[in-house]
Structure 1
Amino acid sequence: MPVATETPLDQARFSAVLRRSTLGVHDRANHSRYMDALLGGALTLSGYTQLAVQYHYIYGAIEQASTAMAGDRVGGAFVFDELRRLPSLEADLEFLVGAGWRTAIEPLPATRAYVDRIKSVAFDWAGGYVAHHYTRYLGDIAGGQVIRRLLEKNYRIDGPGSLFYRFDLPMSAPAFRDRYRGLLDTAPWDEAERAKVIDETLAAFECNIAVFAELADGMDEHLAA
């Protein structure tokens, strides 16, 4: 019988290879102690607010990278103004924290490290930009909707406070994800570059996991009675 061999990265649909390569770390992020508590309804609203605060710094960095990448031959294809989350996050934090939220919040050490990682790879390398962009936005469009429904059900928030998870896309969410995967598949990366993008995507997931771990360390005071 012939011996089955793995399809080289440059011959397979890169979106499928990327998804398969990150399944394990994606699962670790989704089932971190903090996310289990949030999705299980064990946190107060202030417990969720801690996550929204960290997202303000993370998405601030990614969206600065989007601006830097807008004219890039490869990275520019992944710049979607309709995905930008900062305006929604700012409205959410004004609702969740109060009018003086800008001076009341600060990033966790893990968030600072995450932001530094984004700034080091995503402003002048299209592959690094796509790795961090893919890790966050596709998850928000899909699995993030579970959190949107949780905010509505558990905290009666339907509007400011949950705007981060509401996307004004020019097509259905599944169609948009298909379009994004098509861009991944046709990006002009050889096998070596694809491997680098996978490595950076794994690093992006690890950054998220580190943030969730620090949130978990301080969540006892935010547990629902």
Structure 2
Amino acid sequence: MNTFTTPFSARLRAETREAHHTTESQRYVSALTAGDLDLAGYITLVVQHHAIYAALEGVAETMRHDPLAGPFVDDALTRLPALARDLQCLLGPGWQERIEPTPATAAYAARINAVCAGSAERFIAHHYTRYLGDLSGGRHVGQCVSRHYGVTSDAGAAFYTFDQIADQKSYKEAYRARLDALALDEDGRTALLDEVLVAYGHNIAVFTDLARLVPATTRKGAA
């Protein structure tokens, strides 16, 4: 691939395609979307999301006025209020005292806090990995979750709904245009790409850990 003529957003997609596929094919993800988990198995994912987005959106506030990262910080993407509503619905009052991230999730959040506040490239990498995924495959996951686990976009699955984004396709196109316009040299682009792969690695580790929640025999009969 000619990195001098290929749009950076296209390069990102091409060079992370394998990691993206590995994430989507994780056993926990397959069980979640097939309805093979119990409600507790779904709630555990919501808890992990809360820890991850607490880290990412906390850093986002510090990057809001950064010349490179600032244009990516958009309140329309913010997920923490939706996750709080979901956990209130799923766990009831006092949910804040009843949640704890897994070690894999804690490591993911720690990585975000350690590298993003001091690096626009690495912040954008984690921002891109999470939110572009939410706006793409996340829609399908949300539909599956609502169908299988008795939750709705108002109660229990608000995380998957972006009320402030009317046209997600156009939003994603504009987001990719911002990536293409980033004033980064090749070292900066490589750092961003490398951190996207790190983010995928953490995401895969979280799902690998959550695979323990998948029943030994699913409705497809898989062991």
Give the TM-score category using the shorter length: over 0.9
Q: Which amino acid aligns with 1:141?
A: L
Residue aligned with 2:155, SS: coil
Match of 1:7 in 2: 2
Residue aligned with 1:43, SS: coil
Match of 1:187 in 2: 182
Residue 91 of structure 1, CA deviation: 0.4
Residue 39 of structure 1, CA deviation: 1.2
Task: Map residues 94-113 of structure 1 onto 2, 5 A cutoff.
Answer: 94-113=88-107
Alignment size in residue pairs = 218
Task: State the Cα deviation string for residues 135-180 of structure 1 (Å, max 9, x = none).
Answer: 0111111111112111222123222101001102344000000000
State which of 83, 90, 107 in structure 2 corresponds to 1:89. 83
Cα distance in 2 for partners of 1:116, 1:153 equals 33
Task: State the Cα deviation string for residues 38-59 of structure 1 (Å, max 9, x = none).
Answer: 1121111211111000000000
Where does the alignment leave 5 or more consecutive residues of structure 2 unmatched?
none
**Structure 1 residue ranges, 4+ long, deviating more than 6 angstroms after superposition:** none
Q: Which amino acid aligns with 1:204?
A: A
Residue 219 of structure 1, CA deviation: 3.7
Cα distance in 1 for partners of 2:167, 2:201 equals 29
Instruction: Note if 1:60 corresponds to 2:54.
Output: yes
State which of 185, 195, 209 in structure 2 corresponds to 1:200. 195
Q: Which amino acid aligns with 1:133?
A: H
TM-score normalised by length of structure 1 = 0.92
Residue 218 of structure 1, CA deviation: 3.8
TM-score normalised by length of structure 2 = 0.93
| RMSD (Å), alpha carbons | 1.6
Where does the alignment leave 5 or more consecutive residues of structure 1 unmatched?
1-5
Cα distance in 1 for partners of 2:16, 2:86 equals 30
Task: Map residues 1-225 of structure 1 onto 2, 5 A cutoff.
Answer: 6-8=1-3, 10-158=4-152, 159-220=154-215
Percent of aligned positions that are identical: 41
